[in-house]
Amino acid sequence: MKILLFGATGMVGQGVLRECLLAADVELVETVGRSATGQRHSKLREVVVADLFDLAAYSDKLSGFDACFFCLGVSSAGMTEEAYSRLTYDLTTEIAAKLVILNPAMTFIYVSGAGTDNSERGRSMWARVKGRTENVLLSMGFRTAYMFRPGLIVPLHGIKSKTKVYRILYLAMSPLLPLLRRAFPNQVVTTEELGLAMLLAARGKATKSVLETGDLRALLRS
């Protein structure tokens, strides 16, 4: 497989990149982002762009891929709905619209979040925006599209969040994480498991278009 990965420098993206590079059936991983990953690997190709809203000059680098793993995301804390929508709905759907033209047989996997509201009418602003994003992606015409809705994501293999408050939170919670995973197995997933589940979905193993944490764990068991 040839995989296009957006958001490879974030916590989720780092974990997904690791599993892609380890997978025997992945021949190429191309990352697209505003900064380089700092990694070197024979399978890895990086495209660094100043503005992700302006990819017109990169069409030749965005073609010929079997799957796109879209791991870009921002916290809604302190943001207006307009600003959050711009970086969540607008950016994601604009990039996806380009990709579906360049790669009509592509599988598109979007990392959303537990609690996403695809009715688009709920009280939670971020959940409405994520739900609207999911709905558009599912209707775009990709060969297959999957919406991943993980709950608590535990970073493994030295991976850290780029957000300081999250790093502090994970550090404080680290002694409790094994207990949380046992107590709430359908609410907690690791970065490794998330990457492996994405690869399984790209291989056609997923049977649902929207996958909550419990569905991701069931996919891994299968």
11-22: pLDDT as tens digits: 999 999 999 999
Tell me the Cα Rg of the chain.
Answer: 17
Q: Quickly count: other Cβ atoms within 10 Å of residue 34's Cβ.
A: 11
Q: Which residue has the tokens 């046992």?
A: 182
Phi, psi of 154 (to 5 degrees): -100, 120
Distance separating alpha carbons of residues 196 and 42, to the nearest angstrom: 20
Q: Please report the sign of the dihedral spanned by the C-alpha atoms of residue 108, residue 110, residue 115, residue 118.
A: negative
Q: What is the pLDDT of residue 157?
A: 79
Distance separating alpha carbons of residues 22 and 52, to the nearest angstrom: 27
157-187: pLDDT as tens digits: 778 766 666 666 666 666 766 676 677 767 7
The whole-model pTM stands at: 0.91
CATH topology (fold) of 2-221: Rossmann fold (3.40.50)
46 neighbors 36 (Cβ within 8 angstroms)? yes
Q: What is the pLDDT of residue 177?
A: 66
Domain assignments of the chain as residue spans, ordered by start: 2-221
Residue 217 CA neighbour count, 13 Å, CB half: 15
69-103: pLDDT as tens digits: 999 988 888 899 999 999 999 999 999 999 999 99
145-157: pLDDT as tens digits: 999 999 888 888 7
CA angle 74, 78, 96 (to 5 degrees): 30
Distance separating alpha carbons of residues 137 and 114, to the nearest angstrom: 17
